[in-house]
């Protein structure tokens, strides 16, 4: 499935990262990020699909919670990037909580969704979910992320006379 280009908007253009989100392991697990944007208040979001491969599963063909954590962390990071302008980026995941609610199974198709819930100067808060095609929640996550804010223009150096 080829990625769907994001609609035009005032958010950061990241079409080149659609698909595996710039992380080959995402695609190896069977996930793809397909569309993204920012809502009317500037909060970023991303949508994708997940059809688990055997690499994502334990011997009973159930997706490991660590795989869900990886995918949901990636969705939240992508959504935060969509909300930031210029060269500002999420620098690190400070806190991540994942709740696996139902088993995610090999070869079934699921939806992925991530969104920013709050964007502050130094941190962002986001949430993500994995749901089946009927909308039943399989897993959800919340996270706190450290931001690197690129300055609009460099500050002039202070001289000894200032």
Q: Does residue 154 register a pLDDT over 80?
A: no
Q: Could you tell me the pLDDT band of residue 150, with boundaries at 50, 70 and 90?
A: confident
What is the rounded average pLDDT for all residues in the chain?
Answer: 87
User: 134: which 2 tokens?
Assistant: 């009927």
Per-residue three-class SS string for 32-72? EEEEEEECCCCCEEEEEEECCCHHHECCCCEECHHHHHHHH
Fold of 15-148: Thiol Ester Dehydrase; Chain A (3.10.129)
What was the pLDDT predicted at 135? Answer: 96
Average pLDDT over residues 135-143: 98
User: 4: which 2 tokens?
Assistant: 């769907």
Average pLDDT over residues 52-68: 97
Strand partners, 145: 93, 124
The separation between CA 122 and the C-alpha centre of its own chain, rounded to angstroms, equals 18
Structure-model confidence comparison of residues 29 and 12, the more confident one: 29
Q: Read off the pTM.
A: 0.85
Average pLDDT over residues 24-28: 94
3-class secondary-structure state, position 79: helix
- Going by C-beta distance under 8 Å and a sequence separation of 6 or more, which residues neighbour residue 14? 6, 36, 78, 81, 82
Q: Edge-to-edge strands of the sheet including 31-38?
A: 31-38, 44-50, 110-119, 123-132, 137-148, 89-100
Q: Could you tell me the pLDDT band of residue 156, with boundaries at 50, 70 and 90?
A: low
Q: Does residue 58 register a pLDDT over 50?
A: yes
């Amino acid at each position: 499935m080829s990625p769907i280009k994001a609609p035009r908007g005032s958010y950061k253009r990241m079409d080149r990262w659609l698909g595996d989100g710039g992380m080959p392991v995402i695609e190896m697990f069977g996930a793809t990020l397909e569309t993204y944007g920012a809502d009317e208040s500037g909060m970023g979001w991303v949508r994708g699909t997940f059809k688990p491969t055997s690499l994502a599963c334990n011997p009973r063909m159930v997706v490991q919670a660590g795989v869900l954590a990886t995918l949901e962390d990636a969705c939240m990071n992508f959504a935060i990037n969509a909300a930031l302008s210029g060269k500002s980026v999420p620098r690190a995941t400070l806190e991540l909580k994942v709740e696996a609610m139902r088993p995610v199974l090999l070869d079934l198709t699921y939806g992925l969704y991530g969104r920013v819930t709050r964007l502050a100067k130094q941190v962002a808060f986001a949430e993500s979910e994995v749901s089946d095609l009927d909308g039943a929640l399989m897993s959800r996550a919340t996270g706190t992320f450290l931001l690197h804010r690129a300055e609009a223009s460099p500050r002039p150096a202070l001289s000894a006379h200032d």
